[in-house]
Structure 1
Amino acid sequence: MKFTAIIIGATGLTGNILLSQLLEDARYDKVVTLSRKQIDNNHPKHYNHLADLFDPSTYKEFLKGDHLFICTGTTQAKTPNKEEYYKIEHDLPLGVARVAKENAVRKIITISALGANPDSNISYNRGKGEMERDLEDLGFEESYFVQPALIGGKRDEKRPFESAWKKFQKLIDPLLFGALKKYRTIEPETIASAMIYIAINAYDKNRIESDELVEIGSRL
Structure 2
Amino acid sequence: MKSAMVLGATGLVGQRLVNLLLHDHRYSEVTCLVRRPLSASAFHDPHNKLRPVVIDFEMLQDYQGYFSVNHVYCCLGTTLKAAGSKSAFRKVDFEYVHIAAQLTRAQRANSFVWISSVGADAKSRHFYLRVKGELENAIMGMSQLPNASAVRPSLLLGAREDSRFLEDIAQKTAPIWQHVLQGALKKYRPVKPEDVAHNMVALQAWQ
Global fold match (TM > 0.5): yes
Tell me the amino acid that sits aligned with residue 136 of structure 1.
Answer: M
Q: State how 1:34-49 maps to structure 2 within 5 Å.
A: 34-41=33-40, 43=45, 44-49=48-53
1:155 equivalent in structure 2: 160
What's the Cα RMSD here? 1.7
Give the counterpart of 2:67 among 63, 74, 77.
63
Moved over 6 A (4+): none
How far residue 94 of structure 1 moved from its aligned partner, in angstroms, is 0.8
2:180 equivalent in structure 1: 175
Distance 1:129 1:57 in 2: 23
Unaligned runs of 5+ in 1: 203-220
Distance 2:150 2:99 in 1: 17
Q: State how 1:81-120 maps to structure 2 within 5 Å.
A: 81-120=85-124
Distance 2:23 2:69 in 1: 18
- How many percent of aligned residue pairs carry the same amino acid? 29
Say if 2:5 and 2:66, in contact at 8 Å, map to a contact too. no
Unaligned runs of 5+ in 2: none
Tell me the amino acid that sits aligned with residue 86 of structure 1.
Answer: R
Distance 2:176 2:87 in 1: 35
Does 2:23 align with 1:19?
no
Structure 1 residues 170 and 79: CA distance shift in structure 2, 3 A: farther
Say if 2:177 and 2:190, in contact at 8 Å, map to a contact too. no
Distance 2:84 2:156 in 1: 21
Secondary structure (helix, strand or coil) at the match of 2:95 reads: helix
Distance 2:138 2:177 in 1: 35
**Residues 176-207 of structure 1 deviation map (CA, whole Å, 9 limit, x = unaligned):** 111111111111111111111221459xxxxx
Distance 2:188 2:202 in 1: 22
Distance 1:26 1:200 in 2: 15
How far residue 169 of structure 1 moved from its aligned partner, in angstroms, is 4.2
How far residue 147 of structure 1 moved from its aligned partner, in angstroms, is 0.3
Tell me the amino acid that sits aligned with residue 77 of structure 1.
Answer: K
Distance 1:79 1:67 in 2: 28
Secondary structure (helix, strand or coil) at the match of 2:81 reads: coil
Relative contact order, higher structure (CA 8 A, sep 6+): 2
**Residues 132-186 of structure 1 deviation map (CA, whole Å, 9 limit, x = unaligned):** 1111222311110100111111112222443134323442321211111111111
Secondary structure (helix, strand or coil) at the match of 1:33 reads: strand
Distance 2:167 2:186 in 1: 20
TM-score by length of 1: 0.85
1:4 equivalent in structure 2: 3
TM-score by length of 2: 0.90
Distance 1:56 1:161 in 2: 31
For this pair of structures, how many residues does the alignment match?
201
Distance 1:178 1:103 in 2: 41
